[in-house]
Chains A and B, each alone.
Chain A
């Protein structure tokens, strides 16, 4: 168990809908990262937060947004969902940042858009 908690585990929704994925980092970790994993693309970096502030953006669509709250948990919001958004979404955390300490991953949220 990595100590990173993601909810829900599975989510099935229709195109056009909006969902929120939640992540609680390991105790003491300040950095949170979101990744998307689909069969053909592998793990793609979406966004990084450090102690409540956005630090880096990767291949995140404009329909997607995220935030990190004062208690350090993070939420990833996906809106106007399309079939192609179906994927496994991982949250990872590290103490300060990937440069100094390894990322530890949650078990992911599997999103299916029908």
Chain B
């Protein structure tokens, strides 16, 4: 059975701090790993990682994948209160015949205090 573990489950920091969110996975037919941010409603797409060791950046957010050790991290620098959300990690698997999908972790609930 596919398994995705995110840590920590919850994190409270002050505005301006840097945080690192972790995701480890054990899935079959791995293709890529995606990160999403979920505030009150729909998860919104952040990153799609397909290659090991290549950092992807978007403003204060960055992420990297290690396909050998089966984990990914999401870094947020100079955190702001608007970064408060649940961050979801989701490996993408492909099982042939066009069947694919994302297996989500339970998320890291990040709270940024002013």
Q: Which residues of A contact B (CB under 8 A)?
A: 2, 4, 33, 35, 42-45, 48, 50, 55-56, 58, 90, 97-99, 102-108
Contact = CB atoms under 8 A, between A and B. Distances in A.
A42 B97 CA distance: 27
A2 B44 contact: yes
Interface of B: 31-32, 34, 36, 41-45, 48, 88, 90, 92, 94-95, 97-107
A14 B106 CA distance: 29
Most buried by A among B31, B95, B97, B102: B102
A45 B92 contact: no
Contacts of A48: 99-101
Nearest to B104: A43
Nearest to A110: B41
A94 B97 CA distance: 16
B86 to A, nearest CB: 9
Interface of A is mostly: strand
Contacts of B90: 43
Nearest to B106: A42
A107 B48 contact: no
B98 A97 contact: yes
B110 to A, nearest CB: 16
Contacts of A50: 98
Nearest to A96: B98
Given A42-B106, A104-B45, 5 more contacts: A44-B104, A55-B97, A90-B43, A99-B94, A102-B45
Q: Which 3 A-B pairs have the closest CB atoms?
A: A56-B99, A43-B104, A105-B42
A45 B103 contact: yes
Contacts of A99: 31-32, 92, 94, 100
Contacts of A107: 41-42
